[in-house]
Amino acid sequence: MVLYPIEYNNFYRLVENACFEVRLPFRFSNFSKKMYGNFVHVFLCVYKEKLNLSYRRFVEVCNENNMQRMLCIKRIPHFTTIQKFVQRMKKELFEKLVRACTKLLNLKDVVAAIDGTGFSNTNPSHYYQKRIDGKEVKNYTKTVFLSDIRTKLILGVQTQSDHTHETTHFKPMVKQLIGCLKTMLADKGYDSMSNRKLCWKNNIDVHIPSRAFQSQKDRLDNQYYSKHRRNALKKFDKTVYNQRALAETVNSAIKQTLGGFVRARKASNQQKTVTIKAIAYNIEHIGRTIKIWISIEIQ
């Protein structure tokens, strides 16, 4: 008997396992149509982003490949059905699916890095968004990824279309992943004693370089914060911090494979689309990573 590794790259099964981890209900309402369940909609949304197609072209490709047989449905939904599902669902559902990928690999003692990037909005103009949403937004979707340095997986994602600074997402993202984090890496933009104390309180090593204060007033800090800043400087390890550059690899990989742009018009849908891209990237990456050992008897 000889053991050989094979790759478990079934995209359908991995999406199914992720939906099971978040306890996705079969339907959200007893009065909804019984033709399609929530899993069918989620799978089609994620698979669409994997292929990087528009809704109309994606439905055409599904019909050409007879995908309704794999999904056990009579016919592929109309492209507006998938579009309205994304518009109807909350962004938090897709964020939970991103975090569920950590449970598929049972990740523990993770060395993670947080970094921001942007996805350009190619479809609507800046004035169209302002007229539809009633507020001024950027011409790109600001995205913050919390990535695993070792597996290159995206553990958490936060998106925004306004002018809020990305550092505000540090605490919520760390709190959501306290159970599996061991070390946090971030650049100077995240230099905050409150961020460090949150990590220290939960036994997470944090390596963030300190900013050089410009004014005399900033340098003359009170004794309490000076004590903690001196402690942070002692714990800072330049060698460990240099691994943060691998977070840029994740940002580049998702843009190279799934596209660095979104086609949605409304700002809320643009944020959901970027989150679904993160799900598709994780599922595809896990499919290449997981190996199952099978035994083959050689005569």
Domain ranges of the chain: 2-90+290-296, 108-269
Name residue 62's amino acid: C
pLDDT 10s digits, 41-90: 999 999 999 999 999 999 999 999 989 888 888 899 999 999 999 999 99
Q: Is 8 exposed, middle or buried (0-12, 13-18, 19+ CB in 10 A)?
A: middle
Give the distance from CA 254 to its chain's centroid: 10
pLDDT 10s digits, 9-38: 588 888 998 999 999 888 887 777 778 889
Considering the segment(s) 108-269 as one domain, its CATH architecture is 2-Layer Sandwich (3.30)
The reported pLDDT for the residue numbered 291 is 57
Lowest mean pLDDT across 16-25, 60-69, 119-128, 262-271: 119-128
pLDDT at 242 over 80: yes
* Distance between first and last Cα of the chain: 9
Element (H, E) at 2: strand 2-7
Which residue, among 178, 173, 176, 179, has the nearest Cα to 160 in the 3D structure?
A: 173
User: Around Cβ 240, how many Cβ atoms within 10 Å?
Assistant: 14
Q: Cβ contacts of residue 194 below 8 Å, gap of 6+?
A: 171
User: In degrees rounded to 5, what are phi and psi of residue 204?
Assistant: -115, 125
Lowest mean pLDDT across 59-73, 117-131, 137-151, 176-190: 117-131
The reported pLDDT for the residue numbered 2 is 57
pLDDT at 226 over 70: no
The reported pLDDT for the residue numbered 133 is 65
* Distance in angstroms (rounded) separating the CA atoms of residues 89 and 82: 11
Q: How confident is the model at residue 214 (pLDDT cuts 50, 70, 90)?
A: very low
Residue 228 near residue 193, CB atoms below 8 Å: yes
The reported pLDDT for the residue numbered 222 is 47
